[in-house]
Structure 1
Amino acid sequence: MESFSPLSAAIGGSLIGLAAAVLWLGNGRIAGISGIFGQLLPPAQTVIWRLVFLVVLVAATFVAAKLLPGLGVGGNVPAKLVDAPPAWGVPSPIWLAIAGLLVGVGTKIGNGCTSGHGVCGLARLSLRSLVAVLVFFGVAIVTVTVTGIV
């Protein structure tokens, strides 16, 4: 966490909140990424806005990375994915695939992801979202403690 910047964190958080508010006010939908993505397969009746939202999400990240290469990373060091713990003997691509699958299962079980519950659910004062966020953070703390990855 030696590269933490309160300014970039505040700007990023504000943009996430703004995007969530625009989607809520403009479309009446919650900006939970797993729910938006999950409804693409099988296609829901409302595919167009979901595709537009996801394409803009990825495109904006790409543009920000190109325009501000050191934002949030610290200096001009490019961001990279975390490697699997060497002692576990699992190749990093397999480690990331397993992690992604576990996240997908967790969002299905939890009826949403951190963006949906943490940003939008808490803003709506949802008790279910509060419980979900507390579980998310508790599991994250245990995971970091067990794996030693920060």
Structure 2
Amino acid sequence: MLVSPLLSPLLGGVLIGLSALLLLGLSGRIAGVSGIVGGLVNAPAGDRGWRLAFLGGLLLGGLLLLRLAPSALPHGLPAPWPLVVSAGLLVGYGARAGNGCTSGHGVCGLGRRSPRSLAAVLVFMTTGALAAQVLRPLLLGGAS
């Protein structure tokens, strides 16, 4: 293991915050992943490079973790794949409907003291907690 299990969440949070701060400070852009991905579709040619670099960094970071500490990543799916795909599509829809995702509102918006982001975070955290409590037992037969 590269980092103590007690320090891993702290180190991860610091790295996420630092990355968001650097992107905002150096380019004036918000590190909201759903907006970055969504912007790839209709982005002008000069706007695609940084988006692809950001997403490539996310992918390379995951691959680096897989190489250096494979036990840090889960193995297998937590639920049947159709359920995982459906959940992912619902998260994408929710991010679009809420004009942002957890990274855009939760990390960047709260860091900028945005009231709209605070409202969004309260809604999606409450909704996620309720959905987990209600839907998980129904869909997975009480598995936790």
In the superposition, the TM-score normalised over structure 1's length comes to 0.83
Pair 1:122-2:123 in alignment: no
Alignment partner, residue 20 of structure 2: 20
Indicate which of 119, 125, 129 corresponds to 1:131: 119
Alignment partner, residue 50 of structure 2: 49
> Which amino acid in the other structure matches residue 79 of structure 1?
H
SS of 1:82's equivalent in the other structure is: coil
Q: 1:41 Cα deviation (Å)? A: 0.8
Q: 1:98 Cα deviation (Å)? A: 1.0
Which ranges of structure 1 fall in alignment gaps of 5 or more residues? 84-91
Number of residue equivalences: 134
Deviations 1:39-93 (A, max 9, x none): 001233411000001001110111022112233x5xxxx533211xxxxxxxx22
Alignment partner, residue 38 of structure 2: 38
Q: Provide runs of 4+ in structure 1 moved above 2 Å.
A: 42-45, 78-81
Alignment partner, residue 111 of structure 1: 99
Which ranges of structure 2 fall in alignment gaps of 5 or more residues? 138-142
CA distance in 1, matches of 2:44, 2:75: 34
Pair 1:142-2:138 in alignment: no
CA distance in 2, matches of 1:136, 1:66: 33
In the superposition, the TM-score normalised over structure 2's length comes to 0.86
Alignment partner, residue 88 of structure 2: 100
CA distance in 2, matches of 1:118, 1:144: 19
Deviations 1:90-114 (A, max 9, x none): xx22112211111111011100000
Larger RCO, structure (CA 8 Å, separation 6 or more): 1
Q: Percent identity?
A: 46
Q: 1:136 Cα deviation (Å)? A: 1.1
